[in-house]
Structure 1
Amino acid sequence: MASKTSYAMFLIKAIQDFYYEKEEETIAFVMLNVKGRDLLAIDELTENQNELEKEIFPMYQMFNEGKERLQRTPFRNVKYFFPYAKDMAAGTYAHKEDVEKALSEKKAKFYKYICDETEGGDQNKIDLLFSNIDDPQGTMDAIITYIVNGEGQFTGISEWNKLLESMGHYTKSGRKDDQSIPVASWRKFYRIFKKVYDKNAGLFAARVDSKKSETRLCESLMNIQPNDCFVIDIAKLDEEMQAFVFGDVMRSIYDLKLGAAEGLGRKAKEKIPSKIIIFIDELNKYASDDSPKNSPILRQILDITERGRSLGVVLFSAEQFRSDIHRRVKGNCATHAYGRTNAIETSKADYQYIPSTIKSMLTRLKQGEYVIQNPTFRSLLSIKFPKPIYKQYKHG
């Protein structure tokens, strides 16, 4: 539970520093900010000079052993992506002056989702909004296929409100057109979609204006460059929209590595990063044992954990309780890092191969202390790592 995000960020910072000037093997990073302003100033040095001089820099010096591999600087090449909202405060926990400063320095954009059949719009991603909905009969999936294929009332739609109107048409009793999908299923689908749409009206847009620092998230991700560090803010979005954005991020990165960037602005000669690391906190929201088996986001996560390595897509994740995570995700994880946890958690089956002395240690670890498990090492390792070198905001 303690310092899980800080440890992941320390590893990512070390990786960026190590590969920053390499030309053959390049890396880019995509992080999702899920709590407050946690990751919204990672390109700024911490303001605590006492910690820097007495705690952080000495540890960096020890790690370097005379070679400046770990830079005494915050993250480089950072770009922030904030959810668009007419009232900026409604979309992000970031302070207005901080967002405006990032925009003026050309290191921030607002992301939107457009509905446009002719431009390969984002209506093709609406399955991601139903990732946590049980659908044993497959009726939600059938509706999604119906919409994405442009059948019936869904031909030539280029606006979200028109899409919603077309959904509403199929919720009416007594209509005489296609009735292959029950009205009750359409009503459930309409209700779920309308709830998300009404809450996030700013994000579901008619168009994107690049002159106002607006972008489609998938287009920005498709154009990610070596050493880029993208921070996508989803902290203030509701749970369904968070899942939608996270699913869009994974799908876009996967499509990029599979060669689907054509037509989204990427130049043919631009080198795609050899590896792209995606970091998400609270992974249990999207990949728990309780997630619906038909969840498109769970399928995407499983695909990345089982086959992403061959494509150069690496998933870093953090969660409070390892036992909550889907067994196939854990089974394909090369490195496990354990911070302080409680005795109830360590009594679960996930910890049956961990010696009792180590289990007892896990309940007493301090911040900055972790136990690492990796096939490279014959036994578990106890480690310490420095506090974040970047600026952190106090919650509240």
Structure 2
Amino acid sequence: MPEPAAPRPAAAGAAAAGEPAAGDRAATAGEPVGRVLGTADATPLTFWTAVAPDGYLQLDDVVTTTRALPGRDPVSIAGVVTAVRARHEGAQFDSDVFAIAEGMLPAQVQEAAEVTTTRIDPEVYVPPRPGAPVHRATGAARDAALHFDRMSRAVPIGCGRDGQPTYLNADFLDGQRGAHVSISGISGVATKTSFATFLLYSVFRSGVLGADGVNAKALIFNVKGEDLLFLDHPNTRLTPETVQAYTRLGLPAGPFPDVRVYAPPRADSSGTPDVTSRTSGVDSFYWTLAEFCAKRLLPYVFADADDERQQYTMVVHAVTAQLARLAVPAEGGISLDGVRIGAYEALVDHLVDQLSDEDTRASWTGSAVSLGTVNAFARRLIASKRDLGRLIRGDLATRRPHEINTTEGAQVTVVDLHNLPDRAQRFVVGVTLKTEFERKEKAGTAKPLLFVVLDELNKYAPRDGSSPIKEVLLDIAERGRSMGVILVGAQQTASEVERRIVTNSAVRVVGRLDPAEASRPEYGFLPPTARQRVLLARPGTMFVNQPDIPVPLCLEFPFPAWATRHAEAGPPPAATLRSITQRTDPFAVVGSGATAVGDDEIPF
């Protein structure tokens, strides 16, 4: 079934094709709602409008007015309402309100709205004249006021307060003119992950990427419960109103059509995926001992930012080099110093023995390192055995494909981390991002695009300190745009995330915020009234700031059309079932104790 066409705004080239002049565009605006106020200063960038007695304006409404100039075309001034007030004109004391309400004092109620200018066309920066009519912008006038008409590729991201679609310029998302998205808000209230997945859904299903959208990929790290393991299942709580909301945005209401899920293996020898709610279509991911040594992954065992400030990091890099040089792949693990090693725990014990022996310590540390520094390294390495033992294996090397590879997988790859301890989560995130980024570097092209969705970004790239993961994320933020790697980072507190990552994000999204966090300079793009409003924002309400539009737009995105938990999951479409069986390895354990099954046997 063909997807519904998105109700796109006019393209940027409309002017060359006969776009209406400023005066004509103003004539297409909606009903008059007031006049420019004469008792407050009007500037080209902000002005106040008196609201007509039979009208109203609310925050986020879009309005237009015009200014006539001698000898040239009139100037169209459009803006967004950023403040609204009402007062009694004629009242002198606070108590006068009672007398006025009882008709004992003459007074008039007057509402006024502050308008922040978003567009002046042509760009003649003059203020509107007091008394000039102000119109509510609708249709083409609204699109022009919010610069939607200049977006040749507009991604629908929700509806504004007026119920009309709101768009994001794809040029600032896919790297053509900018890249990366930063989403901030209180955990559990700001719906950061829900908005991130909706953004991906809109990018993939709206068709704005054209032919490139077919091959575009997404890598999502799931860190909270098993909520993101059912993106390819329809949501049984979908209502007709929600379907209509998707239709209004030009999107089909359904699940992601092509999803692959990875989960860590259980600690037992079977290596089945450690998930409970989803029983099929899940692959285990892990690294063999030979890969751990050859790919120099030891530094990611010490991926905490505090670790990098310690002196034992020199031991980390020395041991890493020795492992890459000495480790030889062998049946069931590796051979190291003539010793057969088949488990990560055994590897750790062997390294500790080598570092404890005075005869072999120098060859492993590479320099004259104090015994205290070596012991500090050994203590932390021993502590990693419990966390990483099931991820670095020697017993599963020939059992099944185990590498997370977005280029050979589905359009959306979900990596489940919620059952892993903190150190193991850091290891998986760091190694996976390093591998994917290096793969893009070797490809030498920005296509296909890879969107990386990472929650709790303040944990992986904190403001202070350094770590291997932080260096990879910085590399993505600063060079990923040219390689087609787009970071969609979510965090509770943007003020605690590395500044260069936040500043390199072309698109910034804010949901419900804590009062102390909202006052931080990282949210300086929010007007004063918006900073107050984010303290009250409901789930699903987001403030989106993008370079094309000088003020952040308040919008609501629709309820997910895909299942966000097992209780909501309906049966996946037939296309998804075929995709799962076609890519299933015949020797793999597909689910929790289940084996690979045929098309007519998938136990959903």
Q: Which TM-score bucket, shorter chain as reference?
A: 0.7 to 0.9
Change beyond 3 A, Cα 1:138–1:14: same
What is the match of residue 261 of structure 2? 80
CA displacement at 1:356 relative to structure 2: 1.3
What is the match of residue 427 of structure 2? 244
Q: Tell me which amino acid in the other structure corresponds to 1:95.
A: T
Deviates more, 1:122-131 or 1:298-307: 122-131
What is the match of residue 233 of structure 1? 416
Change beyond 3 A, Cα 1:140–1:16: farther
1:316 to 484, 488, 513: 488
Whether 2:377 is the aligned partner of 1:194: answer no
Change beyond 3 A, Cα 1:84–1:94: closer
CA displacement at 1:129 relative to structure 2: 1.8
CA displacement at 1:287 relative to structure 2: 1.0
Q: Distance in 2 between the 1:274 and 1:78 partners?
A: 17
Whether contact under 8 Å (1:143, 1:186) holds in the other structure is yes
Larger Rg: 2
Q: Distance in 1 between the 2:428 and 2:480 partners?
A: 19
Whether 2:226 is the aligned partner of 1:37: answer yes
Change beyond 3 A, Cα 1:272–1:112: farther
What is the match of residue 351 of structure 2? 167
Give the 5 Å matches for 1:146-161.
Answer: 146-150=318-322, 154-156=326-328, 158=334, 159=341, 160-161=344-345
1:276 to 450, 468, 492: 450
Q: Distance in 2 between the 1:228 and 1:109 partners?
A: 15
2:546 to 374, 389, 392: 374
2:240 to 47, 53, 59: 53
Whether 2:528 is the aligned partner of 1:341: answer no
CA displacement at 1:394 relative to structure 2: 7.1
CA displacement at 1:198 relative to structure 2: 2.4
CA displacement at 1:77 relative to structure 2: 1.4
CA displacement at 1:182 relative to structure 2: 2.3
Q: Distance in 2 between the 1:141 and 1:246 partners?
A: 20
Whether contact under 8 Å (2:316, 2:377) holds in the other structure is no
Q: Tell me which amino acid in the other structure corresponds to 2:353.
A: H
Q: What SS does structure 1 have at the residue aligned with 2:555? A: strand
TM-score by length of 1: 0.82
Q: Distance in 2 between the 1:386 and 1:88 partners?
A: 43
Whether contact under 8 Å (1:109, 1:213) holds in the other structure is no
Deviates more, 1:274-283 or 1:341-350: 341-350
Q: What SS does structure 2 have at the residue aligned with 1:258? A: helix
Q: Tell me which amino acid in the other structure corresponds to 1:164.
A: V
1:259 to 424, 436, 442: 442
Q: Tell me which amino acid in the other structure corresponds to 1:275.
A: L
Change beyond 3 A, Cα 1:164–1:153: farther
Q: Tell me which amino acid in the other structure corresponds to 1:251.
A: K
Higher RCO, 1 vs 2 (CA within 8 Å, ≥6 residues apart): 1
Q: Distance in 1 between the 2:550 and 2:391 partners?
A: 49
Deviates more, 1:120-129 or 1:367-376: 120-129
Whether 2:494 is the aligned partner of 1:350: answer no
- For residues 202-224 of structure 1, what are the alpha-carbon distances to aligned partners after superposition, in whole Å with 9 as ceiling and x for unaligned? 222015456x544133xx34x43
CA displacement at 1:131 relative to structure 2: 1.9
Change beyond 3 A, Cα 1:299–1:249: same
Q: Distance in 2 between the 1:88 and 1:184 partners?
A: 37
Q: Distance in 1 between the 2:221 and 2:324 partners?
A: 37
Q: Distance in 2 between the 1:30 and 1:184 partners?
A: 41
Q: What SS does structure 2 have at the residue aligned with 1:274? A: coil
What is the match of residue 114 of structure 1? 288
TM-score by length of 2: 0.55
Whether contact under 8 Å (2:387, 2:424) holds in the other structure is no
Whether contact under 8 Å (2:294, 2:327) holds in the other structure is no
- For residues 333-385 of structure 1, what are the alpha-carbon distances to aligned partners after superposition, in whole Å with 9 as ceiling and x for unaligned? 11111101122111122234432111111111111111111111121111110
Q: Distance in 1 between the 2:511 and 2:477 partners?
A: 22
Q: Distance in 1 between the 2:396 and 2:345 partners?
A: 16
CA displacement at 1:59 relative to structure 2: 0.7
What is the match of residue 392 of structure 2? 204
CA displacement at 1:137 relative to structure 2: 6.9
Q: What SS does structure 2 have at the residue aligned with 1:367? A: coil
Q: Tell me which amino acid in the other structure corresponds to 1:7.
A: F
1:386 to 543, 558, 562: 558
Q: Distance in 2 between the 1:156 and 1:149 partners?
A: 13
After superposition, the CA RMSD in angstroms is 3.0
Q: Distance in 2 between the 1:373 and 1:236 partners?
A: 34
What is the match of residue 249 of structure 2? 63
Q: Distance in 1 between the 2:272 and 2:534 partners?
A: 37
Number of aligned positions between the proteins = 362
Change beyond 3 A, Cα 1:272–1:303: closer
- For residues 44-87 of structure 1, what are the alpha-carbon distances to aligned partners after superposition, in whole Å with 9 as ceiling and x for unaligned? 00121xx3322x211111111xxxxx222201211110101145
CA displacement at 1:387 relative to structure 2: 1.0
Whether contact under 8 Å (1:154, 1:163) holds in the other structure is no
Whether 2:363 is the aligned partner of 1:180: answer no
Q: Distance in 2 between the 1:180 and 1:44 partners?
A: 58
2:502 to 330, 335, 354: 330
| Structure 2 unmatched runs, 5+ | 1-185, 335-340, 568-604
Q: Distance in 1 between the 2:384 and 2:317 partners?
A: 19
Greater share of residues in strand: 2
1:128 to 267, 289, 300: 300
Q: Distance in 1 between the 2:323 and 2:348 partners?
A: 14
Whether contact under 8 Å (2:300, 2:430) holds in the other structure is yes
Whether contact under 8 Å (1:37, 1:93) holds in the other structure is no
Deviates more, 1:158-167 or 1:4-13: 158-167
Q: Tell me which amino acid in the other structure corresponds to 1:30.
A: L
Q: Tell me which amino acid in the other structure corresponds to 1:186.
A: V
